[in-house]
A and B are shown apart, each in its own frame.
Chain A
Amino acid sequence: MNEKREAAIVGVGMTEFSKRSGRSVEQLALEAASAACEDAGINARDIDGIVPFPLGPSAEDLIAGLALPDVRYTSGSHMGGASTVASLALASLAVREGYAETVLVFIARNGSSGARVSARVTTLPGQRYRTNLEHPFGFSTPAQWYSLWCQRHMQLYGTTREQLGRVALTMRENAQRNEHAQMYGKPLTMGDYLSGRPIAEPYLLFDCCIETDGAGAVIVTTAERARDLRKQPVHLVGYAEGHADSPDDIANRRDFFSVGLTKAAPRAFEMAGMKPRDVDIALIYDCFTFEVIQQLEEAGFCPRGEGGPFVEEGAIAMGGSLPVNPHGGLLSEGHIAGMNHIIEAVVQLRGDAGDRQVARATTAAVTGWGDMGDGSLALLTTRTV
């Protein structure tokens, strides 16, 4: 029987998060990549595989910037924000196959001072529909698109504004234990949340994630090589991507709340031989508050329609049955398309999270979300197999 080489994350690195980095995205990428190599205890020249985010610096920009002598594997996911988590699969497949040994996965953006979300959404599928059937009616931003799910969910299942607010408050509270977070030192009350200006109802200001200048990178290698390196390896034991029906249009989906994650989650759990109840921490792609509720449901952490009460009873808070985003998430730490969620999962599973450490956490689930509901899920663990 062939022994499958497992993949493991052995290094993580991030720049600071800010509204204005004052640096190019290329520089941010190189800083994050260098930090990840240092964290792993490897020389950058060992990198022989690169998986970049679909927007921003390319693999070859990093080959050039890091002066890498021989990169033999590059690939990329094209699912908007879901690409970071999906890229863990692309890196894992390469190292497990022996096609590359040390793969860098990264993202760098000046998402606050540079290309903000309205500039980033022009690469979506279905531009014909956006331009001809939606823009003429003033429908053009992710907040507007995703609010359609939130609105109907509130109508059908009775999900409340206070439950959405509970997500926002939980993320903001978590950020108060994370000096790296853009919202560190900026607590949020329910009164603040409820009086936030409306963006695209039901979404108010604090239902929406922040924009960030910053970069993040992880190093993926084989579990075997990981044993010789500096930090406790975190094993990638399950991963999958999924695309909604159809990926280029939300309105006509027969099963309206079903998204890419709905398809990806069962595949990832089956691959890992795990169930949602085996997960100690969930890192959920929180582009908007409601998307946390929707992803908790679609990934199987609670039944569809019950995400609101699940959140309301405190399940997702630190100390709850399923802590979500101890770092504050996209809502309160910063938005680098969930690479920070992958990194937080690794830090937590290593036991290095300090004040925000989730006790006895050995298994984390990380979701990805992008475009019109593309999805991905990765399962990370320090449990020995």
Chain B
Amino acid sequence: MESAAQRPLPDVDDSVLSGFFDGTRKHELLVQDCRECSAVMWPPRVKCANCGSFSTGWVRHHGTGTLFSWTRVHHAAIPFFALKTPYVVAVIELDGLPVRMIGELRVPPDWDLAVGASLTVSFEDVDNRVTLPFWMPVGEELAT
């Protein structure tokens, strides 16, 4: 039987994260900000880590960043990913913001990974509710 393993999907209605997934559905990368002190936070939280306000919102980022760290996974505990090894999980530091996101970095197998590499986001519609962001080296996205 063809693999029944599915990618584990986020709960796009999660009370803290739904705004982020509303953004990805529109192919926008949103990060959480505080409506009182304007601090930007990641991951999104219930209250502002800077001033304590419960009044948070979302602000759009243009979707470029640099490679902060990564791992190339060969042994995956999640069945869907066991079929995709090796794959790269990256920490992407967004340009101009104190935000580092975890994401899947799509690179050719022989690509030489190095801290500071310029990356850009793209979006993949998984179904009519879930769109996920993926990352690629700047320049690679033109090749696809």
**Chain A residues close to B by CB (< 8 Å):** 118, 126, 128-129, 131-141, 143-144, 147-149, 151-152, 155-156, 197-203, 246, 249, 251-252, 254, 256
Q: Shortest Cβ distance from B123 into chain A, in angstroms?
A: 13
User: Chain B: interface secondary structure?
Assistant: loop
For the complex with contacts A131-B8, A148-B69, 20 further pairs of A-B residues with Cβ separation under 8 Å are A118-B77, A133-B17, A136-B7, A137-B132, A138-B87, A139-B89, A139-B102, A141-B77, A144-B73, A148-B71, A151-B70, A197-B74, A200-B75, A201-B74, A202-B71, A203-B71, A251-B68, A251-B91, A252-B43, A252-B99
| Interface: B52 (CB within 8 A) | no
Q: Are B14 and A132 in contact (CB under 8 A)?
A: yes
CA distance A137 to B8 in the complex (A): 8
Contact of B68 among A152, A197, A203, A249 (CB under 8 A): A152
Contact of A201 among B7, B10, B11, B72 (CB under 8 A): B72
Q: Hey, which chain A residues are within 8 Å of B77, CB to CB?
A: 118, 140-141
Q: Shortest Cβ distance from B124 into chain A, in angstroms?
A: 11
Q: Are A200 and B68 in contact (CB under 8 A)?
A: no
Q: Shortest Cβ distance from A371 into chain B, in angstroms?
A: 16
Q: Are B43 and A131 in contact (CB under 8 A)?
A: no
Q: Shortest Cβ distance from A101 into chain B, in angstroms?
A: 42
Contact of B76 among A138, A203, A249 (CB under 8 A): A138
Q: Shortest Cβ distance from B92 into chain A, in angstroms?
A: 9
Q: Are B78 and A138 in contact (CB under 8 A)?
A: yes
In the complex, per-residue mask of B10-54: 1 if CB is within 8 Å of any chain A CB, else 0: 110010110000000000000000000000001100000100000
Please name the residue on chain B nearest to A202 by beta carbon.
Answer: B71
Q: Given A133-B43, A249-B43, does the pair A143, B78 have CB atoms closer than 8 Å?
A: no
Q: Which residues of chain B from 80 to 103 have a CB within 8 Å of any chain A CB?
A: 80-81, 84, 86-87, 89, 91, 98-103
Q: Are A136 and B10 in contact (CB under 8 A)?
A: yes
Q: Shortest Cβ distance from A137 into chain B, in angstroms?
A: 4
CA distance A140 to B86 in the complex (A): 15
Q: Are A148 and B72 in contact (CB under 8 A)?
A: no
CA distance A151 to B9 in the complex (A): 27
